[in-house]
Structure 1
Amino acid sequence: MDASLFTKMLSDKSVTDLKKLGYKYPQADIKEFVELLDTGFYKTLPLKDFNGGNLVYLESVAQVRLSAAKVLLTPQASTQLYGVKAMEEEIISTFTIEQIDTSRDSVRKILSGYAPSDESENRIYGMKKGLEFISDPANKISEETIYQLYQLTIGAFLPEEDRLLPGSKYRHDSVYIVGDKVEHTGLPWQKLPDYMANLVAFVNEESSMNDLLKAALIHFYIAYLHPWFDGNGRMARLMHLWYLVQQGYSSALFVPLSEYVEKSRKGYYDAYTLAEQNARISGVLDATPFLVYFIENVYHKLGSALPAPSTTDTFKKALEQGGVTEKEQALWHFVLSAYGDGTFSTKQLEKDFGNAAYATIRSFVLKFEKLGLLTPQKYGNRVKYQVTK
């Protein structure tokens, strides 16, 4: 193939959709293009497809901006295990993706420490326990801890027919993901122990792959294998977060990754479909469509999820100069955790914080507004505040 034609095809915006690329170029060119990718451009991964072939991805196409990693690496001064507001959105969004009914009031109730009162709240409680589990650095990723996470988060709340057999970490029968037609068949259950052991080895080995891409690939592979009868999507998203936490991305649990996925849900499912559709054309399972989806729709949209570095620096400076009391520091950490980039009123903060008089709350808000850390938002005669971006 002519080098200029190959370069043109590689830079084509349809490069992650071989069927669409086939509408623009002759099939002979598509065949030669894929062969060239296979000989020198695909990065081979130590994960297997259902036929035993290696997964691949195009490193030149799946590029994450450094700013995305910086957002997730931003240290959190909060003593919270996770951002409460972020995890409220995470739970609501992950359930919405899987079409599980829940309510924001119930999520807030469970995250506030109340006991569940029905089946829906049991599921929320499971997610809360799962988030607490993956936030603990002592819980390293292994087959045993993945099983513990699954049982804690999902398995304990399933009907009898969907539960794992005693002594089994994975499903014991076939599973089909069905839309208008059968869209995906999970890995034959007999192969799951070997494939999951291989995934855990990949998770824990040193590799040259970008951490954010590796987390997204783990996410993709869990959903591809479908190791359980139910809850595979939730587990894929939890595993994604868990890997980032294990790699030291301290803000991973302070941004609602699933909220970004839910907002682009069609693209999320289409990315899985594209990967399998391309494999039928090329004979290679290329994870690039999913990685590109995640880069464009999640990672590169995280910039506004956390306070601007200048806001964090301003707070640190005021703290170092003795301009912030212990109570004000606690209130600031609470605001970051409880409201994220949302708005709140002084009355709401007084009620939610629960350990300060209204005069203290009012003084804190006015002082932090003056410091430039809080920005007022006027709604008629009412004023709400938001962490300065």
Structure 2
Amino acid sequence: MAKPSVERAPKFELSNVDYEKIGKYINKYDATDEKGHYLHWSLLKWRVPQAEAKDIWSAIKFKRTIQMKYIPLKCDKDNLFSYCTPHSMEAKLHKIIKIAGGSVGAVADKAASDKIQRKFLVSSLIMEEAITSAQLEGASTTREVAKKMLEDEREPVDEDERMILNNFFLLKLAEKKAKANLTLDLILEFHQKATNLTTENNVIPGEFREDNDIYVEDNRGEIAHQPPSFEKISERLQCVCDFANEDHSGMNGSEFIPPVIKAIILHFMIGYEHPFRDGNGRTARALFYWFMLKNDYELFRYISISKLLKDDPKGYGLSYMYTEKDQNDLTYFIDFQLDVILDAFEELQEYLKSKTEEFNEVLQILENSKFSNILNFVQKDLVKKGTKEPGRIFTVKETANSYGISENTSRGYLNKLVDLKLLLPTKDGRTILYFAPSDLMNRLKVN
């Protein structure tokens, strides 16, 4: 086995604390550094005087240990996983809960949200998550091609496209099952959706692996994690299900675990157990979304955590490794994921802002046009797309999928634009195509 790229942290136990040695550091150091970073030993040891590093680490671990909460899930060596919530994490949690408890309009500019119908602006975000989740797993199809495939509902031409289509259906399934309890069958159903008709790593969709010839590599190709034995998968995942279904609302005497933290722990545990030959990451992220929707955090429908994980695969991998190499401390993974979620909310805000600006452009074009008061939002948005991309083809199915409307409604909207000579129809076999004329901008001008 290759040497791990993250050094295991010195083991700490309260019963063995030498208070005389660490006493002078306890008031100086907290669970995090002065900037709120929850540092692993492999990082901390280079930021403090070398001769004092282990005593400083012991002081920090002392602060962490007295805050630690243990959960009823164990590593393969039968030790419990745990986490703590230092002040910097509490601040992140507060911000996430405040944002996630609102609507999509609350994330975007309020003035803009008063003018247009927000639901259409976020119609493609679930497609973005499906695409980036697959790209995180190695799919190489471009976002433009993948999005067009999903909008047109065309069959995938290769396994990369198949993975993206599967992810789209997987997220839809997570929404559909949002009120169900977590069971082994549901985990298997999520995995079946994620890996349907794919063959990478000899995966069998909807079935647990039946050997131990599987491991997780770090970004240098070294073995970072050897999952627990396949013989224990059902037993260990049943514990994960029990944890997911247990009441942690803090009501009626129950222990309180914030739903965001609990969802992140579920994400971690699928990655740790690695119960499948392939598709573990996609299944883990689907469980994260499932649990957030289960707890009525509707805004999570519209954020893409996979895009940000794809942008920082090293940080994602290290957050797993830090946990495993510091006495099962989940705080590293939780803290990293909280940052990802906050960044995802910022990206959502930027997305809504840019879409609002694009839409306002077409409103200005239409303002002095005879079409100003006779087109609805969808039709104006289609015109906007046509002015930006002359010759663009629209279909009934694509438009229905893009805006969350029925095909009959979509057909009516497109035919209205044909009647107004803003789109031109043509046939491809039995299918009617609608394309934007090259002089569309001129057609919008007042006669």
Q: TM-score, normalised by structure 2?
A: 0.65
| 1:76-107 superposed Cα distances (whole Å, 9 cap, x missing partner) | 69998995421232122222222222232134
2-structure distance, mates of 1:251, 1:361 = 37
Confirm or deny that 1:86 pairs with 2:134: no
2-structure distance, mates of 1:7, 1:129 = 52
Aligned position for 1:377: none
5 Å-filtered alignment, 1:154-303, equals 154-158=195-199, 161-163=202-204, 169-174=207-212, 175-179=214-218, 180-207=221-248, 208-277=256-325, 279=326, 284-303=327-346
| 1:276-325 superposed Cα distances (whole Å, 9 cap, x missing partner) | 23x2xxxx2001111111122332541451558xx9xxxxxxxxxxxxx9
Q: CA deviation at 1:37?
A: 3.4
Residues 303, 344 of structure 2: 8 Å contact kept: no
SS of 1:45's equivalent?
strand
Residues 93, 262 of structure 1: 8 Å contact kept: yes
Q: 1:57 to 1:109 in 2, by over 3 A?
A: same
1-structure distance, mates of 2:62, 2:98 = 36
Q: CA deviation at 1:233?
A: 1.1
Aligned position for 2:69: 43
Question: What amino acid is aligned across from residue 101 of structure 1 in structure 2?
Answer: S
Residues 292, 300 of structure 2: 8 Å contact kept: yes
| Aligned-pair Cα RMSD in Å | 3.7
SS of 2:164's equivalent?
helix
2-structure distance, mates of 1:160, 1:32 = 44
Residues 347, 358 of structure 1: 8 Å contact kept: no
Residues 82, 254 of structure 1: 8 Å contact kept: no
2-structure distance, mates of 1:286, 1:361 = 63
Aligned position for 1:118: 158
Q: Which moved more, 1:218-227 or 1:59-68?
A: 59-68
- Structure 1: stretches of 5+ with no match in the other structure: 312-324, 364-381, 383-389
Question: What amino acid is aligned across from residue 296 of structure 2 in structure 1?
Answer: G
5 Å-filtered alignment, 1:301-340, equals 301-306=344-349, 307=352, 328=376
SS of 2:319's equivalent?
helix
Confirm or deny that 1:129 pairs with 2:129: no
Of structures 1 and 2, the larger Rg is shown by 2
SS of 1:62's equivalent?
helix
Greater length-normalized contact order (CA 8 Å, ≥ 6 residues apart): 1
2-structure distance, mates of 1:82, 1:170 = 39
SS of 1:298's equivalent?
helix
Aligned position for 1:9: 29
1:71 is matched with which residue: 96, 99, 121? 99
Residues 72, 243 of structure 2: 8 Å contact kept: yes
SS of 2:124's equivalent?
helix
2-structure distance, mates of 1:221, 1:331 = 45
Question: What amino acid is aligned across from residue 43 of structure 2 in structure 1?
Answer: K
2-structure distance, mates of 1:124, 1:80 = 23
SS of 1:305's equivalent?
helix
Question: What amino acid is aligned across from residue 42 of structure 1 in structure 2?
Answer: M
Residues 190, 286 of structure 2: 8 Å contact kept: no
Q: Which moved more, 1:144-153 or 1:19-28?
A: 19-28
Q: TM-score, normalised by structure 1?
A: 0.73
SS of 1:116's equivalent?
coil
Q: Which moved more, 1:196-205 or 1:124-133?
A: 124-133
2-structure distance, mates of 1:55, 1:33 = 18
Q: CA deviation at 1:138?
A: 5.1
- Structure 2: stretches of 5+ with no match in the other structure: 1-18, 106-116, 249-255, 357-372, 400-409, 423-440, 442-447
Question: What amino acid is aligned across from residue 171 of structure 1 in structure 2?
Answer: R
Give the number of aligned pairs. Answer: 334
Q: CA deviation at 1:159?
A: 5.5
Q: CA deviation at 1:231?
A: 0.9
Q: CA deviation at 1:146?
A: 1.1
Q: 1:185 to 1:74 in 2, by over 3 A?
A: same
SS of 2:298's equivalent?
coil
SS of 1:200's equivalent?
helix
Once the two structures are aligned, what percentage of the paired residues are identical? 18
Q: CA deviation at 1:32?
A: 5.4
Q: CA deviation at 1:131?
A: 1.5
SS of 2:129's equivalent?
helix
Q: 1:35 to 1:218 in 2, by over 3 A?
A: same
Q: CA deviation at 1:200?
A: 0.8
